[in-house]
Structure 1
Amino acid sequence: MESQAGTSLAGFTRLSREELPVSVGGDVRRLEAYVVDANFLEFFGIVLEAGSASGALARPNTAVLSKDTASRLFGVEDVIGRTFETNGQLVEVTGLIEHQQSSHLSPNLLISSSTDTTKLAAADSTSMSGEFFVHTYVRASEGASDLLKSSLGTLPGASFMPSPQAEALAPELELMPVADIHLNGMPAGELNQGGSKVLVAAIAAVGTVILLVACFNYSIMVAAESERRITEIGVRKAFGADARQIVSDFVKRGAIVTGSAICAALLLIILSAPLLSSQFGQQLTPSWPVDFIVILAVPAIALTISGWTLLASNAGAVNTKPVDAIRGETKRRGAFWRNAAAAMQFAVSIVLIVVTMVMSDQVRLARDETINTGDDDVLIVDGMGAPFPAASTYTLANIMKETPGVSAVSMSEIVPTDFSTTLIGIASPSTGRPEPIGVAANAVDSGFFATYGIQTIGGQVFRPGTEGGGANEIVLTSSAASTLGYENVDAVGKSVSMASADGLVPFTIIGVTADIPMKSIIGNTEPLAFTKLGERARYLSVRFGAAARADVVAALESAWPTLSEIPLDYFFLRERLAELYRPLDQAFRFFLGLAGTALAIAAFGVFGTATFAAERRQKEMGIRKALGASRWNVSTELLRMLTRPLSIGAVLAVPAAFIVSQWWLTGFAQRISLSPWPFLIAIVAAGAVGVFSMSLQTFRMAMTDPATVLRREQ
């Protein structure tokens, strides 16, 4: 396809994520498969470890496996030509690939889209109704975005919703550059949970601040060193050394220290890469030239700042007259910058501690409290839809209800942590919304609300026995009621119209419930409408007490073979929530490391400040002790220097930490409320680290014999 401007569409490939039963030697398991077009491997440049990429998926009933999947299914990696069974058909393995770690795709099992038992093949061959996501990747020349947008209707699957639903909901296919998927996410049907631009920017900002603080600390240590060498500098100047020679000596020493630090840092990066890769599940390998430019930029910045701090810190000693230097007298300058550096270190440490504690509480909320099941867990059975017998679904539900420890059982089309989306169009003429609005929907039975602890705000939920028929009733979440123009309980009893193949059908709102995150609490709250379950459900959910887990699993695994030959597939809600919010937990642990690093740097900075102060005030402290001051008096006098920077740091950090925490929490549909405790704990922790670091130097000063100090020439 060519445009007048010469831009072109070079081609496209498609991907449909489906769960398929896979049988090898009678061992049946359900696996996530990517049903893809024949050109998928070549389109993305995926290299096969075995087989040919050009023809691996060209024929129906062919598949490509990752090495891990091949080992799981067959026990060996030499699997070319072997077969497995899915949905009654034999599929031949024609290729083998490495696991793609640094990708938003996880192609462990690729099946040709021409395999007629897949949803994608069914959609291509018929006017299939129903909902599933097909990801279409399009390669285009430079500047072809406008052409792509105008050409979406020509791609397979563009007309995916029959009228009048399409007219009511006005569905659109959206474009997103592949490079943007990881940090921006997709509006719906996301293959894997991506990263966060906010988190990346926050890490970069914190790293930059820590680097600046470290440079300030270095300048303080250098200034203390120059104070100790003031007599040496005076003697050298008296014997003819000029300022350039003295500065050159300081720069050489600084270059050795800074260069050694940079080499140690690069070595640490290389050694820690495998650990970070295992922690984040990504292969962290630098790419040329971008990553190397960034890696080299950090030492360049460090060298520049360190050079400046070296010159600034030694300016007083270099400019001191030889006679004053020999006497040990130098200008007392830089107190403001030393206090400012210490205050900045405390502020950064306090902010990081607060943010880390807030992240910890938010992770706990996301993992344990977003679904209101208390101490109970929920076992969720997947695959209850066709070809599983509909009558057997209710039989299994009754068996699970009678299992000891089970408090509720329900059936539904969607469950929490399932990223499926079903849209319905709802019109609400009584609130001035005569045109249907797209709202996410979930078909559920009467037990769904008790199973997942969904609180009723007004009205009632579906009554037992009303599934599959009866009056046209609907239950809305609070945000769905608000979307349609109602104030929660005001919606109860109102009539709305739902778009269907037969036009607009009237429904009565019988209840309003609290919001429940069916996908994730990251992002905005999704308005949700509950409709009555028909004859079939995809999921069976069983809520049980923690002590009954073994009995519930045993009952399920015992009953299942008597009802169906389809492989059993189930998971636990708490485990799925932990997996869903694993990136958030990883971010928390990463910030915990940053907070520890900042505290360590602050401790070194305070120790440097104490060393500097001790060098300058050692005669004063000696005189105080000679006049009768106790060791405690000397120690407290030096420790008082810590009060001002700590107070200033706390004053700066508290509002900054509050703003940063609130800003971060706005990215969640459900979030914790900030309390004073993280701020108080952070201030106390930073102060304790500061006191401990400074006490090391003050203790040494307090233990020094005053006669020894007063006999020194400097």
Structure 2
Amino acid sequence: MFATILKSVLRQMRRHPLYVGLNMFGLALGVGVFLTLTLLVRYEYSFNAALPDVDRLVRVDTHWTMPGTPPGEVAGSTFRALPFLREDFPEIEAGTRFENTELQTEQDGVFSSFVSGLTDPAFFSVFGLKLLHGAPDQALAQPDGLVLSDHAAIRLFGTTEVMGRTVRLNRNGVTVTHTVTGVLARRTTPDLFSGIEMMAPFSSEDMTTRFCFLSWGSDCGRIYLKFRRAGDIDAVSARLRDFVMRHAAGADSDSHALGTHPEKIFGLLLAKLGEARFRDFHVLYAEDGVDRTVINSIGLMGLLALALACANAVNLATARAGLRAREVAIRKTLGASRRTLLVQFMGEAVLVAFIAGVLGLALCELLVPEVASLTGEALVVRYGLVGVVLPLIILVCGFACGIYPSLILSGYRPAAVLAAARMPSGGRGAARLRDALVTGQFGIAITIVICMLVINHQTVFMRTADPGYVRSGLLIGSAMPGHDLAAQRKMLDALRAVPGVITAGFGELAPRPDTKNLGTYSYDRPAGPVSVYLLQDVVSVSYFEVYRPRLLAGRWFDAAHGQDDLPPRDEAPTRKANVVLNAGAVSRFGFAAPDQAIGKIIKSGGMTARIIGVIDDMRFESPRQAIYPEIIFFNTLANQPFNDPIPAVRFQGIVEADMVRRLNRAWAGILPDASSDFSAVDARMSAYYSGDERRGRIFTLGAAAALLIACLGLYGLAAFAAARRVHEIGIRKTLGATGRQIVALLLGDFLRPVALSCVLACPVAWVVMRRWLAGFDERITLTPAHFLIAVAGAFAIAILTVLGQTFHLARAEPARALRAE
């Protein structure tokens, strides 16, 4: 039987290469796209899954409910909580703190940065990551220990045999010598530590002086816990409110506590690491979060591409069924049973699916590296998964593509077929099936195209939307370490002296801030006091000229006004200052318009602040987040330094790359031991957009594949119709029909299912995209243009697909067409 099936397939390839080629190529394309996107979806779903005992691992998150701002979960917590957690909950087996940081090496004035983390010696007790060299329980035990990834070891020394070697590391301008005490083994599965190149222990100075180790209101990293049993996680979660009440409470004057009722504003949550990849998409400041809906949509797109390819094969096989009618009639006359014919035709379909599957696997090998480069993920072909999935695809596709044509072919009656002058066409039922499949194919393709257009438009909008300040001509550097007043003055003078620089200034916040300082401020309204949790920034002279925010009411700071300058911190009980608010803060305090806030007094503890100006909101963070209500203070550098100020300069007349080099040299003249890293706003903010951009490219590829598969099917049907309607067209032209009328008739027949698919696709795409756009604080409007462009494009592609066959058929000579029939 196999030999018969093979011979039949080869014969069909010789007799009808167009149909068989379209069938195989369409199936191969569907299989290749499906396998590629399946590997991508599996990668996302396997994030953290390979961590040892992942079902017992959690991250301690913080939930804030502050006045004037919406409640939200933050991916991190105060380091002060860890010793109390281990003391109060014996269910915890081990715990560790982890702070993402950037450690640098310096050689000849050139800094090399490494993705790094500071952590506790118990890190390997929690995570159990394997070391290529070194003992896990000792790797971070000594204060100067350093664990490298194998990639970092090769980058630094050219080998992984680096135990005991020393590395001079620069952190915030301070150089410290570390000794390599461990090398991480390479991991082939994704997790939250996949990109870490260096790990060092916290210093004793960190733990005794840094605010995040001492205060319950701080947050500079994450706490990870390993429980003795997975079932203990929910039990401990239920007792965390009481835990907060016991340990975070304190007098209002205690800067390390959260007041007498901390549970009203502060809570701790246990986020299971096995679920963190998708959960973190809705958590503030979680860098590894991915929208589950988007990933599922990518998987669905792969499945739909495979379904389109199968529908395409069914369409072509159904259309071609009549061409084999006489073969079936003769074989039945010679004694072949319907069962034998059914098995043969199903076998042919499975064999074609097998060949397409092999071609699809080859296409997957080509697509996976491209998709990996588009998404930035370490995506590779997993042959264990492919070895299971591909045979199932071949069997399912072969069965789906062959069952209906096999039933039609094996059911022909020999006498009726041999007595007929023409081949059977399958009747209205087959025609309706073909139209339904074309409608479904183009409906799916058009839906994907509309989604692709909206996603790409939203991504472009996020990059180009007005952030509330002028981005062009603006460069921002790294935070200047330390609190040296003289050094800060010299830095501003040095930057302003660089040729091409218009002006330079300091701020404690910048686009994509590393740290944030927040505080609660109250305003006494006649109906009662209103409290708002405000993001606090301190800016220098020239800040307004550097960022150029929009002033909505009042005035900006002026060094000539003495009260504008922020008083020294040692005057805390009686501090008075003039401040500027953003539009969001004005709205939260209940002012109907910005000018109504001018001159009003707000208070925070012993601080009394008078509002002198209101600026428009400035976006420094993700477009998915609402902009924080903000209060801005002024520091002229006359009396006190900034806390780790971030320099920014406005320049003109110089190429950006040249200006960056000049600014870096000026920085090195003041702080030779610290990296400056001046960059444009788009570069700093790109992390907020890159994920959506990468997945938008995947949707673009999926849309192109879906359209191509749908067009293959439409082209095959057009070729089939051209072969079967020659006689009809000959009669019509004999009766006086013009070529233009024939073209219009044929195009109408071909495009009718395409038009129906557009009607069905638009509402589906509208619902899906409306839900997706709801996740952004700033978003585009879903306009008819997105749908009209997709529909017009689908019609144009469909017309171009069938136009050649249509013109060929319309130009047929009537006499020759009727004689041929």
Same structural fold, with TM-score higher than 0.5 when normalized by the shorter chain? yes
Residue from 586, 590, 593 that aligns with 1:481:
586
Cα deviation, residue 373, structure 1:
5.2
Change (3 A) 1:490 1:371: closer
Cα distance in 2 for residues equivalent to 1:148 and 1:512: 46
Which runs of no fewer than 5 residues in structure 2 stay unpaired? 1-83, 250-254, 568-574
- Alignment of 1:37 onto 2:97: no
Cα distance in 1 for residues equivalent to 2:469 and 2:651: 9
CA contact (8 A) 1:524 1:667 kept: no
Q: Matches of residues 409-424 of structure 1 in structure 2 within 5 Å?
A: 409-424=504-519
Cα deviation, residue 53, structure 1:
2.2
User: Counterpart of 2:779 in structure 1: which amino acid?
Assistant: R
- Alignment of 1:51 onto 2:97: no
Residue from 239, 256, 264 that aligns with 1:162:
256
Cα distance in 1 for residues equivalent to 2:312 and 2:499: 63
Give CA-to-partner distance per residue, 1:238-271, whole Å, 9 cap, x none: 4443332332222111111222223333343344
In structure 1, the partner of 2:699 is: 591
TM-score by length of 1: 0.87
Cα distance in 1 for residues equivalent to 2:526 and 2:654: 48
In structure 1, the partner of 2:566 is: 468
Change (3 A) 1:270 1:222: same
- Alignment of 1:307 onto 2:405: no
SS in 2 for 1:362: helix
Give CA-to-partner distance per residue, 1:434-481, whole Å, 9 cap, x none: 474433333333544543343233333433463433843333333333
In structure 2, the partner of 1:341 is: 437
Cα distance in 2 for residues equivalent to 1:192 and 1:323: 71
CA contact (8 A) 1:376 1:544 kept: no
Q: Matches of residues 546-585 of structure 1 in structure 2 within 5 Å?
A: 547-550=654-657, 552-572=659-679, 573-585=681-693
CA contact (8 A) 2:310 2:397 kept: yes
Moved more, 583-592 or 521-530: 521-530
Cα distance in 2 for residues equivalent to 1:423 and 1:186: 23
Cα distance in 2 for residues equivalent to 1:694 and 1:431: 74
Residue from 165, 171, 179 that aligns with 1:82:
165
Moved more, 402-411 or 603-612: 402-411
User: Counterpart of 1:592 in structure 2: which amino acid?
Assistant: T
SS in 2 for 1:569: coil
In structure 2, the partner of 1:94 is: 181
SS in 2 for 1:581: helix
Cα distance in 1 for residues equivalent to 2:737 and 2:212: 95
- Alignment of 1:244 onto 2:332: no
Cα deviation, residue 175, structure 1:
1.9
CA contact (8 A) 2:494 2:667 kept: no
SS in 2 for 1:678: helix
CA contact (8 A) 1:29 1:568 kept: no
CA contact (8 A) 2:505 2:542 kept: yes
Q: Matches of residues 644-663 of structure 1 in structure 2 within 5 Å?
A: 644-663=752-771
Cα deviation, residue 381, structure 1:
1.9
In structure 1, the partner of 2:68 is: none
Change (3 A) 1:165 1:26: farther
SS in 2 for 1:487: coil
Cα deviation, residue 128, structure 1:
6.5
Cα distance in 2 for residues equivalent to 1:177 and 1:485: 39
User: Counterpart of 2:190 in structure 1: which amino acid?
Assistant: S
In structure 1, the partner of 2:487 is: 392
Q: How many residues in Structure 1 have an aligned counterpart in Structure 2?
A: 701
In structure 2, the partner of 1:107 is: 196
Change (3 A) 1:26 1:396: closer
User: Counterpart of 2:622 in structure 1: which amino acid?
Assistant: S
Moved more, 224-233 or 621-630: 621-630
Cα distance in 2 for residues equivalent to 1:619 and 1:314: 28
- Alignment of 1:354 onto 2:450: yes
Cα deviation, residue 596, structure 1:
0.5
In structure 2, the partner of 1:332 is: 428
Q: Matches of residues 428-507 of structure 1 in structure 2 within 5 Å?
A: 428-430=523-525, 434=529, 436-445=531-540, 447-464=542-559, 466-469=564-567, 471-489=576-594, 492-493=597-598, 495=600, 497-499=602-604, 503=605, 505-507=607-609
- Alignment of 1:217 onto 2:312: yes
Residue from 222, 228, 232 that aligns with 1:135:
222
Change (3 A) 1:492 1:343: same
Q: Matches of residues 194-213 of structure 1 in structure 2 within 5 Å?
A: 194-213=289-308
Cα distance in 2 for residues equivalent to 1:673 and 1:317: 52
Identity of aligned residues (%): 25
Cα distance in 1 for residues equivalent to 2:512 and 2:611: 26
- Alignment of 1:535 onto 2:641: yes
User: Counterpart of 1:45 in structure 2: which amino acid?
Assistant: G
Q: Matches of residues 632-711 of structure 1 in structure 2 within 5 Å?
A: 633-702=741-810, 709-710=817-818
CA contact (8 A) 1:153 1:159 kept: no
Cα deviation, residue 358, structure 1:
2.5
CA contact (8 A) 2:131 2:182 kept: yes
Cα deviation, residue 138, structure 1:
0.9
In structure 2, the partner of 1:61 is: 144
Change (3 A) 1:16 1:663: same
Moved more, 230-239 or 700-709: 700-709
CA contact (8 A) 1:66 1:109 kept: yes
Moved more, 134-143 or 506-515: 506-515
Change (3 A) 1:456 1:348: farther
Cα distance in 1 for residues equivalent to 2:313 and 2:780: 39
Cα distance in 1 for residues equivalent to 2:179 and 2:373: 33
CA contact (8 A) 2:248 2:257 kept: no
TM-score by length of 2: 0.76
CA contact (8 A) 1:375 1:545 kept: no
In structure 1, the partner of 2:461 is: 365
Cα deviation, residue 164, structure 1:
5.6
User: Counterpart of 1:552 in structure 2: which amino acid?
Assistant: M
CA contact (8 A) 1:474 1:530 kept: yes
User: Counterpart of 1:689 in structure 2: which amino acid?
Assistant: I
SS in 2 for 1:542: strand
CA contact (8 A) 2:316 2:716 kept: yes
Cα deviation, residue 58, structure 1:
0.7
SS in 2 for 1:562: helix
Cα distance in 1 for residues equivalent to 2:242 and 2:671: 41
Cα distance in 1 for residues equivalent to 2:282 and 2:517: 13
User: Counterpart of 2:413 in structure 1: which amino acid?
Assistant: K
Residue from 619, 642, 648 that aligns with 2:727:
619
Cα distance in 2 for residues equivalent to 1:238 and 1:544: 89
Q: Matches of residues 15-26 of structure 1 in structure 2 within 5 Å?
A: 15-20=98-103, 22-23=105-106
Q: Matches of residues 141-152 of structure 1 in structure 2 within 5 Å?
A: 141-149=229-237, 150=239
